[in-house]
């Protein structure tokens, strides 16, 4: 597989400016308590599909006042402001910004939701923490391992809560599966895991270059990433390019890897290897893999990821899922359901996803809503607010989000380098790696953290 290298030097970069500030200022993890007797002041960076979805779920379960929105797409920003005015209890229209740094400079926000493309997550997350806000950060938390380390350090330095958008940990039927199947010992010892995604989700287009429309600031959308040719507004298509994200592994594997790590209380993988490439869809502009296998090795347990954006799924009942293989049985789980099948005698157990259509009828008229995921996101938001109120860690805290994200990044790097990688979080380096160390290599979009000292702080949408 040939992944496009970062050969375009768009701005003056130095290594680790923001990262160094955070990493050298590690403080005790003592979180501030929040206001319980007045609305939380909330801002959203990235007003696209999932940014709005996250915000609307928060509006449904918490006492908030949406103060500000930010996006580089003027049309999307205006539409989002109108929708928020209709949805929030105050009926107030939020302030709008085209530059997230200007929005954060107001220092009038208690909570910032970040719904931007992946290449912005770390930078915007650190800036939001620095502004004094708690952060709800979409996954993956970064496109670079050291960026993730910087976010972990920043959360400690500024004593703020970060909830990562890996909401499978708050998915009602999966929470039940963990409690009643895994924790109850029905699986026994688990020594093999399979996780997968067989959705045909890779962009197959090969669009011509066009003029950038006047309502869209492409320079600010791109920000610290390489400036690709403009072939149309990139909303929801940016995932096809390694310049902006971590491919299907970073988008879909991160959810399932995070879920099984949570279910089995797993930490960092001991060793990560991956193979794959573009085997079928060679005519598209997309440079992410269409076929990939990754192995995350733990003590006496291998977790194997597979994705194909073509062909049929290995199990049509579970096209995006996990399977935990234990000595006493097997647990299959997805966003839609779970099934436990015992080995030998015993009863099978099945549970479907929880919908809340009657409780939240407004969901039914919301454009592009994932109805199956709405209850999980609501629960995730409640957990986030509870963590802020009580000064505790949320279920998807930044450390856990970093481990899952970095593991996926390392899998992509392993695929490209053609060798297995062992990451040491204490030294923040790959163990016994050939020089230059894997984290110093210019590999795809995942070399050393490149933090711009000067660039216009854009705002973007997923």
Query: Are the C-beta atoms of 236 and 48 separated by less than 8 Å?
Result: yes
Residue-level pLDDT at 169: 97
Please give the angle made by the CA atoms of 99, 100 and 101, to the nearest 5 degrees: 95
Residue-level pLDDT at 19: 42
Residue-level pLDDT at 441: 45
**Total length of the chain:** 462
Residue-level pLDDT at 97: 98
Query: Are the C-beta atoms of 119 and 223 separated by less than 8 Å?
Result: yes
Could you give phi then psi for residue 19, rounded to 5 degrees? Answer: -60, -45
Residue-level pLDDT at 5: 37
Tell me the two tokens of residue 458: 């854009």
Distance, CA of 43 to CA of 45 (rounded, Å) = 7
Query: Are the C-beta atoms of 2 and 288 separated by less than 8 Å?
Result: no
Residue ranges covered by each domain of the chain? 13-168+391-400
Give, to the nearest 10 degrees, the angle between helix 398-417 and helix 145-157: 170
Whether domain 13-168+391-400 has CATH 3.40.50.410: the reply is no
pLDDT in tens, the chain (462 residues): 333 333 333 333 223 333 443 444 333 323 334 456 789 999 999 999 999 999 999 999 999 999 999 999 999 999 999 999 999 999 999 999 999 999 999 999 999 999 999 999 999 999 999 999 999 999 999 999 999 999 999 999 999 999 999 999 999 999 999 999 999 999 999 999 999 999 999 999 999 999 999 999 999 999 999 999 999 999 999 999 999 999 999 999 999 999 999 999 999 999 999 999 999 999 999 999 999 999 999 999 999 999 999 999 999 999 999 999 999 999 999 999 999 999 988 899 999 999 999 999 999 999 999 999 999 999 999 999 999 999 999 999 999 999 999 999 999 999 999 999 999 999 999 997 766 567 754 344 433 333 322 223 333 444
């Amino acid at each position: 597989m040939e992944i496009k290298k970062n050969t375009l030097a768009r701005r003056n970069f130095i290594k680790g400016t923001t990262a160094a500030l955070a990493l050298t200022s590690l403080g005790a993890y003592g979180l501030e308590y929040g206001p319980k007797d007045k609305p939380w002041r909330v801002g959203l960076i990235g007003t696209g599909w999932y940014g709005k979805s996250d915000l609307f779920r928060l509006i449904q379960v918490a006492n908030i006042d949406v103060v500000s929105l930010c996006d580089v797409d003027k049309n999307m920003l205006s539409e989002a402001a109108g929708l928020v005015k209709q949805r929030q209890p105050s009926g107030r229209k939020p302030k709008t910004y085209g530059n997230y740094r200007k929005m954060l400079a107001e220092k009038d926000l208690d909570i910032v939701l970040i719904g931007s493309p992946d290449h912005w997550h770390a930078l915007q997350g650190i800036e939001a923490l620095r502004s004094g806000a708690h952060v709800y950060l979409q996954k993956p938390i970064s496109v670079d391992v050291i960026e993730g380390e910087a976010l972990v350090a920043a959360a400690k330095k500024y004593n703020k809560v970060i909830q990562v958008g890996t909401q499978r940990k708050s998915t009602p039927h999966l929470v039940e599966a963990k409690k009643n199947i895994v924790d109850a010992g029905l699986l026994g010892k688990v020594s093999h895991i399979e996780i997968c995604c067989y959705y045909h989700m890779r962009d197959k287009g090969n669009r011509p270059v066009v003029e950038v429309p006047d309502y869209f600031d492409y320079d600010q959308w791109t920000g610290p990433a390489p400036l690709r040719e403009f072939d149309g507004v990139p909303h929801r298509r940016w995932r096809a390019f390694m310049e902006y994200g971590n491919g299907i592994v970073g988008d879909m594997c991160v959810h399932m890897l995070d879920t099984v790590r949570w279910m089995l209380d797993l930490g960092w993988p001991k060793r990560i290897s991956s193979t794959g490439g573009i085997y079928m869809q060679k005519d598209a502009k997309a440079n992410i893999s269409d076929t990939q296998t990754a192995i995350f090795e733990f003590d006496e347990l291998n977790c194997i990821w597979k994705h194909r954006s073509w062909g049929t799924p290995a199990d049509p009942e579970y096209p995006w899922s996990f399977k935990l293989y234990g000595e006493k049985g097997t647990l299959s789980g997805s966003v839609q359901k779970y099934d436990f099948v015992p080995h030998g005698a015993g009863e099978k157990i099945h549970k479907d996803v929880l919908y809340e259509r009657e409780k939240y009828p407004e969901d039914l008229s919301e454009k592009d809503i994932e109805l199956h995921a709405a209850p999980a996101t609501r629960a995730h938001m409640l957990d986030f607010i509870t963590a802020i109120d009580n000064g505790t860690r949320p279920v998807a805290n930044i450390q856990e989000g970093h481990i899952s994200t970095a593991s996926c990044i390392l899998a992509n790097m392993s695929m490209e380098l053609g060798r297995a990688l062992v990451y040491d979080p204490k030294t923040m380096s790959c163990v016994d790696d050939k020089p230059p160390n894997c984290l110093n290599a210019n590999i795809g979009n995942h070399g050393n953290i490149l933090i711009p000292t000067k660039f216009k702080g854009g705002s973007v949408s997923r």
